[in-house]
Amino acid sequence: MTASSSSIKPLPYVAGLAPYQSGETHARGHSAQGRIFKLSSNESVFGASPQAIEAGQNWLARHETHRYPPTDCRDLRAALAARHKLPKEQLMVGNGSDELISLLIHAYCGVGDEVVMSRYGFIYYRVVAQSVGATVIDVDEDESLQASKDAFVRACSPRTKLMFIANPNNPTGFVWQAGELEALAAALPEHVLLVVDAAYAEYATATHPSYQGGSGLVKSGRCVMLRTFSKLYGLSALRVGWGYMPDHVIASLSPLRPPFNVNGLAQVMATASLKDDTFYDKVVQETCHRRDEIIADLRKMNHVRVYDSGGNFFLVRWADAETAETMAMTLSQQGLIVRQLKDYQLDDCLRVTVGCAESMALFVAAVRGNSGSHV
């Protein structure tokens, strides 16, 4: 007997999931003339460093694509350990930090368990948690999109397994104040594993001297820090992320990690990136300077509200969702693709990646030319 397609069903908590929506790549309503600026995915406008590109070209020239890469990413882990002064044995590399997020949730959560996150936190936490039947507990932020330590602690229950904190937070740009993250970690119940997603750490460190990315909390045995090569290092296309975690978490995730999960080119270019401080110091300096200039310009306009940011992006709020939608289309028609945030319940906001000087000038001019109701 042949089963009909209606007899083959996914798990009930998978059936209703909406797929993760990345930033748009197509400029709606834009003519074939003129440049297009993609400001929707928080990619680095500066790209990868010359040293990383050269290392990648040399690797390709050796014609080793028929060989599987080192499954333990040994050279990259050694370089990360040396760079950040961390024990190599407590580092795990993933196919993007997204893979590590998925591994953590699959290792620790199931039906009936709870995952705590900000209502406006990175939406992929929610997608993966729901895919294993876990319940997502949202923590509300205040009107200024600021997170509260006490609110996160109150959100925990005996069923809570993981808590995700993005610092800086995406998409709001919020950075936890000095000491607050440590206080949060200390106040959590012992059965909760805190995951600090520090994807934008390099930018936050440049403008927040007391910034805490989570590395100092890992020794407690109840915290994981995640980082990525997709933002500052300009290797988004290659998908490389890494985590610093307690030994017992490494042991739990290792059997779940796919073999050869990080490709050879990605490993080589990521390793080389860690040696090019001159290039990346300039990237951080210019990105943060340009971001802060744009935020200052936007704050001179009374029809938008812009929030402080610790990343390579900023969040802009309009008077209502309709105005934000209209603005997104206007920008798209001018070749500026920004991130709408309907899936984050921030319908009246747009997130904008810090781009080149030309794209930022065009963005400010477009916002200035479309004044409306005050926020």
pLDDT > 80? residue 5: no
Give the integer Cα–Cα distance in Å for 12 and 16: 7
Q: Name the one residue in this structure whose structure tokens are 């209703």.
A: 16
Give the integer Cα–Cα distance in Å for 373 and 298: 15
Q: Can you read off the two tokens belonging to residue 3?
A: 């089963």
Summarised one tens digit per residue, pLDDT across range 73-87 is 999 999 999 999 999
**What is the pLDDT averaged over residues 149-159?**
96
| Cis peptide preceding 255, ω within 30 of 0 | no
What is the model's pLDDT at position 282?
96
Summarised one tens digit per residue, pLDDT across range 343-353 is 899 999 999 99
What DSSP assignment string belongs to 18-78? PPP-PPP-S-TT--SSS--EEESS---TT-S-HHHHHHHHHHHHTT-TTSPPPTT-HHHHH
pLDDT > 70? residue 152: yes
Residue 253: pLDDT band with limits 50, 70, 90: very high
Using alpha carbons, list the distances in angstroms from residue 80 to 90, 148, 218, 316.
11, 32, 16, 35
Output the pTM of the full model: 0.92
Residue 142: pLDDT band with limits 50, 70, 90: confident
Q: Can you read off the two tokens belonging to residue 131?
A: 């895919």
Contact 208, 177 (CB under 8 A): no
Residue 98: pLDDT band with limits 50, 70, 90: very high
Summarised one tens digit per residue, pLDDT across range 261-306 is 999 999 999 999 999 999 999 999 999 999 999 999 999 998 999 9
Summarised one tens digit per residue, pLDDT across range 180-203 is 999 999 999 999 999 999 999 999
Summarised one tens digit per residue, pLDDT across range 197-247 is 999 999 999 988 889 889 999 999 999 999 999 999 999 999 999 999 999
Question: What is the average pLDDT score of the chain?
Answer: 92
**What is the pLDDT averaged over residues 239-264?**
96
Return the closest-CA partner of residue 213 out of 236, 185, 251, 248.
185
pLDDT > 50? residue 1: no
| Cis peptide preceding 168, ω within 30 of 0 | yes
What is the model's pLDDT at position 370?
76
Give the integer Cα–Cα distance in Å for 205 and 168: 10
| Cβ atoms within 10 Å, residue 55 | 21
Residue 255: pLDDT band with limits 50, 70, 90: very high
Give the integer Cα–Cα distance in Å for 334 and 330: 7
pLDDT > 60? residue 3: no
Using alpha carbons, list the distances in angstroms from residue 319 to 120, 248, 308, 372, 374.
19, 48, 18, 8, 6
Q: Can you read off the two tokens belonging to residue 173?
A: 């740009």
Contact 363, 331 (CB under 8 A): yes
Return the closest-CA partner of residue 140 out of 167, 172, 97, 186.
172
- Higher-confidence position of 30 and 295: 295
Give the integer Cα–Cα distance in Å for 111 and 125: 16
Contact 147, 176 (CB under 8 A): yes
What is the model's pLDDT at position 224?
98
- Higher-confidence position of 5 and 14: 14
Helix (H, G, I), strand (E, B) or coil at 197: strand
What is the model's pLDDT at position 28?
64
Give the integer Cα–Cα distance in Å for 183 and 212: 12
- Higher-confidence position of 106 and 369: 106
What is the model's pLDDT at position 29?
57
What is the model's pLDDT at position 50?
96
What is the model's pLDDT at position 145?
86
pLDDT > 70 fraction of the chain, expressed in percent and rounded: 93
What is the model's pLDDT at position 372?
63
What is the model's pLDDT at position 212?
85
